[in-house]
Structure 1
């Protein structure tokens, strides 16, 4: 865990549509663009090794970013023969994007504010209203409709926060839906949003003749 006092006011940002990271969950990334290779090499020189993941608002609004992102700490990386990096980010805390910082680096940096999301640093969050059995039944139907495979044994054993956050990051939802999951105030609210999105996908499947 990174102490709040060690969180920087300026963060390098990696804008990527459809990619979010949540506290204590892991996000794999393939780094290959020269500006992000430079960013990664600079990040490795810092104490906390933080990268801010943030989504663009849309493809038409060039340079416009969502107001909330999440910082991840580089916890592992491998360099490939062709000069790319395969890295793993472990989510630390969400942040509020304030404004871009002009500088002499080829990648984006921004002033950010952590104050709204101090709970993210408080250890694993619990969801007392979580109905695991019912959730897994719905999840299995959702995976069948989306033709997704998973390791069900490990999935069933996962802690609630890791289960909900990992699914929020990796399930095939739209960038807008992933932003809603990222910005959910509590784990319970995120779980409820996740259920709503899966139920909507199942209803859409029924109308399309995909569910029997």
Structure 2
């Protein structure tokens, strides 16, 4: 279990529309912009190796970012011949943005609060009300409608948290929908949000076919 005292008060943030990281999940990223290459270089020099993934906030706002993101530790990285990086972030904990920290670095850094996200830093969550058979049937309809393939055996055998979080991260939802999945307070509410989004997408597809 990661303790709040082990986490820094200031972290670099990486605003990336549609890219969702959740606690105990892994997110592969391709880093190539000079400012984020600098961010990664600086991150690798720290003890925690944390980067905060966050969604840009559309419309007017003090920071132009949503208030809640998720910090991930760089657990894998490789450099290409032309200086780009392929990295993997492992989700550690969600955070709430505080004030921006000014400096000479080309990327953005913020003070953050880890309070209120204790569950993120413990063991895997379980969803006791999860009707997996109904969920898999719904998922099958969604994949068929989108002409997507899947390793169904792996999906059926996956633990509740791995299944729900992986689908939340991978399926093609809008950035605002991804933020709703991010802010879900528990695995059960994230699963309910995910089901709602899949059902909405299916209704939209059926309406398009009828027109």
TM normalised by structure 1 equals: 0.95
Instruction: Please give the alpha-carbon distance, in whole angstroms, between the structure 2 residues aligned to 1:65 and 1:15.
Output: 7
Instruction: Please give the alpha-carbon distance, in whole angstroms, between the structure 2 residues aligned to 1:2 and 1:184.
Output: 20
For residues 160-199 of structure 1, the aligned pairs below 5 Å read: 160-199=160-199
1:155 to 2:159 alignment? no
Q: What is the number of residues matched between the two proteins?
A: 210
For residues 62-141 of structure 1, the aligned pairs below 5 Å read: 63-141=63-141
Q: Which runs of 5+ in 1 are unaligned?
A: none
Tell me how far 1:116 sits from its aligned partner. Answer: 1.4
Secondary structure of the equivalent of 1:103? coil
Q: Is the 8 A contact 1:16 1:53 kept in 2?
A: yes
Q: Is the 8 A contact 2:168 2:181 kept in 1?
A: yes
What is the RMSD computed on CA atoms of the aligned residues? Answer: 1.5
Q: Deviations over 1:64-104 (max 9, x none)?
A: 00010000111111111111101011111000011211012
Q: Which runs of 5+ in 2 are unaligned?
A: none
Structure 1 stretches of 4+ with a deviation exceeding 4 A read 59-63
Instruction: Please give the alpha-carbon distance, in whole angstroms, between the structure 2 residues aligned to 1:190 and 1:118.
Output: 16
Instruction: Please give the alpha-carbon distance, in whole angstroms, between the structure 2 residues aligned to 1:39 and 1:151.
Output: 35
